Structure 1
Amino acid sequence: MYVVHCQDKPGALQLRQDNRANHLEYLKAHPDKVVMAGPVQTEDRTGMVGSVLVLDFASRAELDTFLAGDPYAKAGLFETVTVLPYKKVLP
């Protein structure tokens, strides 16, 4: 399992909005892989500036292929993507 933090490029809210429906459909098409996912919000919670995903893949190579296929990634939304191995303990 992996936790993925994606930080949007500055000023990319319109790019995010333009690709959001396709991004959500992409995630919904892989229910066996998406443990949880959602946007990182601005401090005042009025905007979105990134994404956090917990994904269940057996290997980093499989994860990287999945991430590269995400419509957000294809659109060039992210300034940075941080991937860390993750072990669920609770609940």
Structure 2
Amino acid sequence: MLFALICKDKPGGLQVRLDTRPEHVAFLEGLNGDKKLAFAGPFLDADGKPNGSLVVVEAPDLPSAQALSAADPYAKAGLFQSVEIRQWNWTFNKPAAS
């Protein structure tokens, strides 16, 4: 199953995001097994600065997606004001299976 993690940064969280980014990127790149990254990237504010994240992962169930979200270095650093996790169906422009 695919899950979309829709994360909104706390106000003034840009420095936390910048400081924690290397660990966050390594975490996402290291996902494998029953939890895999489909795609991810930041939401941007009007000035083009990151202020949230969209991370889509493959996980066996909602509790696994929740555990993955909680283990993200951004979450551990307290960056997020809110995180919404929703089951998602990739319908259009889905890449061919490799």
**TM superposition score normalised by structure 1:** 0.93
**Consecutive aligned runs of 4 or more in structure 1 exceeding 4 Å deviation:** none
Structure 1 counterpart of 2:68:
66
Q: CA deviation at 1:65?
A: 1.1
Q: Percent identity?
A: 34
Q: 2-side partners of 1:87 and 1:2: how far apart?
A: 8
Gaps of 5+ in 2: 94-98
Structure 2 counterpart of 1:48:
50
Of 74, 77, 84 in structure 2, the residue corresponding to residue 75 of structure 1 is 77
> How many residues of Structure 1 are paired with residues of Structure 2 in the alignment?
90
Gaps of 5+ in 1: none
Letter in 2 for 1:65: A
Q: CA deviation at 1:44?
A: 3.0
Q: 2-side partners of 1:52 and 1:23: how far apart?
A: 13
Letter in 2 for 1:23: H
**TM superposition score normalised by structure 2:** 0.87
